[in-house]
Structure 1
Amino acid sequence: MASGERIFVQAIRRYCATHGIALDVRAGGWLLAMRSRAKRHFAFGYDIGLNSAIAHRLANDKSATAEVLALEGVPCVPHHLFLNPSMGAHVAGPDWQQAMLALLRQNPQGVVVKPNEGTSGRAVFKVTDRDALDRAVTEVFASSLGLVIAPYVEIEDEVRVILLAGQPMLVYRKERPQVVGDGVHTLRELATAAGHDRGLSELGTREVNAIVPKGEQRILNWRHNLDAGARPVLMEDGEVRAACAKLAVEAADTIGITFASIDVVRVDGAWRVLEINSGVMMEALAKLHPELVQATYDAALDRVFGAYR
């Protein structure tokens, strides 16, 4: 097994070895070609190949996902699409800048700017004024053909549901890094001692250099992304887990997706869909629960090869 190989690739290797399926790993592990005695199948990126083309396209497009969910009355966070002006005024439209500023005025608490496609929280910006908006838009458009602007909301909790054919396979919270004050050390010192200092760049200088009162908690990142330091915590059976799973199933049914990870957030006490991912990435969770991750990928691959082995 190659050093540094993604969990996704390792899981498929194990499945293929156990079930006598030939595996050819190409493109640095991003293209996986599998062949059983009667079936050829491909996985690409983090997509195991169970979803229809249209479901895959909808899930990978944050704006389209939000539009479809809203059409069907599924609670979700709105995402407004803006196309890169480099494609021409006939594509981006003549008034895209004014429309962005209008969204900023309508949301005095701020907005979130991010690529329309993509995961892991990269190039995601919270902005509250025009200068910050201009910087964020410039950076996202430098590498993306489209971006979305969503209202910034105070997320009380974020939960990821891994669904397979309408069944919640795994449900876990994304617990953001935090520290507890001791009345002596600054937020920067506490975060550094806990190994959580990488997210401090998004906080103000005054805040990170202030002494945290004894016993007070400080969350170190407004984002819940696992790549930004959040930790996956499996949820036990109960009302909250059931509510999250129910909403995720409703969202999956709405876009017709079979295997997906669906992020739901609690805002003002109510749950909404944040986004749907057609590629199911469980790298962070596998470090804590490798057997559950393997079992989930096994179940998905059983749906691919079960009738052909």
Structure 2
Amino acid sequence: MAATGERIFVQAIRRYCASHGIALDVRSGGWLLAMSGHGERHFAFGYDIGLNSAIAHRLANDKSAAAEVLTLEGVPCIPHRLFLNPSMGAHVAGPDWQQAMLMLLAQNPQGVVVKPNEGTSGRAVFKVTNRNELDRAVTEVFSSSLGLVIAPYVEIEDEVRVILLDDKPMTVYRKERPQVVGDGLRTLRELASEAGHDRQLRELTAQEVNAVVPNGEHRILNWRHNLDAGARPVLMEDGEVRAICAQLAVEAAAAIGITFASIDVVRVDDAWRVLEVNSGVMMEALAKLHPELVQATYDAALDRVFGGS
């Protein structure tokens, strides 16, 4: 958020409306925006600017459904298995959901990731390697969500976000996780503290954080690539990798039928796959580094909303 407490998304829409003679009515603390101009009224809600169909929006925001659709269309992706909250009744959740979860854990000895079926920013996302961790993660997610998904834990070598508008990549950037470089003298805790990354050590063991990092050796501090978890957006230059990521994102968008979206693709074992599709396009972290690019992206989307090219 900006110093005013207003989201970058709202600020960008304010600027667009001011420069295009469009009246803007901000409601619900900035989560509902009514834009009126040129004889039209359009709404933005949350981070959704209103370009996507209802079914595309719902598919994109449902991790399990999105993965199923991508698989049906032959788009490589990370599978996400859906489990519904047992509080809704056995006829909804099914009688064997716990056994099915344990089976998934047994099939993935490297671990699994448990997270809400809907939601962004990496909140309530857990890496699980044993039954006790699974029970804690499931209890935590089900305490606030009607559904969760379980995905195999994979070693993600790179994660790239592609923001698409009408199959055109508007912005492509890597999510660079916080890391330190060892000097052979200081512990991981000391190096992270000096770099301002103390928060990133919470999920590491005492043995890991108190060990001296060998000289020149890199240590990544967080297994998550989420920007809210400390990752930094780094724009990608034109080249083969950028083109591969953009093309995969275009294929994913076409499969779901979505017009304006941010799509996360990951490199696992040197192969690129889709991780998630997001109907709401959030660029709060990117705006701190590249405000002009973020404004231009929202401007182009709003041009489409108001019938421009």
TM-score range, shorter chain: over 0.9
CA shift at 1:204, angstroms?
Answer: 1.2
Give runs of aligned pairs for residues 1-309 of structure 1, distance below 5 A: 3-306=4-307
Q: TM-score, normalised by structure 1?
A: 0.98
Whole-Å separation in 1 of the counterparts to 2:104 and 2:7: 39
Give deviations 1:257-304, integer Å, cap 9, x for gaps: 000000000000000000000000000000000000000000000001
178-187 vs 219-228, which deviates more? Answer: 178-187
Q: Which amino acid aligns with 1:299?
A: A
Task: Give the distance between the partners of 1:44 and 1:12, measured in 2 at CA.
Answer: 12
How far apart are 1:130 and its partner, in Å? 0.2
Q: Distance in 1 between matches of 2:205 and 2:64?
A: 30
Letter in 2 for 1:89: A
Cα separation, 2, equivalents of 1:92 and 1:72: 27
CA distance in 2, matches of 1:296, 1:80: 33
Deviation of the 1:59 alpha carbon: 0.2
Q: Percent identity?
A: 86
> Per-residue CA shift, 1:83-133, capped at 9, x if unaligned?
000000000000000000000000000000000000000000001000000
Moved over 3 A (4+): none
Distance of 2:145 and 2:228 partners within structure 1: 20
Which amino acid in structure 1 is aligned with residue 191 of structure 2? L
- With over 3 angstroms needed to count, the CA separation of the structure-2 counterparts of 1:159 and 1:97, relative to structure 1, is same
- 2-side partners of 1:116 and 1:6: how far apart? 24
Kindly tell me the number of residue pairs found equivalent between the two proteins. Answer: 308
AA in 1 matched with 2:131: R
Q: Secondary structure at the match of 1:63?
A: helix
Q: CA deviation at 1:307?
A: 5.1
- Structure 1 residue matching 2:52: 3-state secondary structure: coil
**Unpaired segments of 5 or more residues in structure 1?**
none
SS, match of residue 202 in structure 2: helix
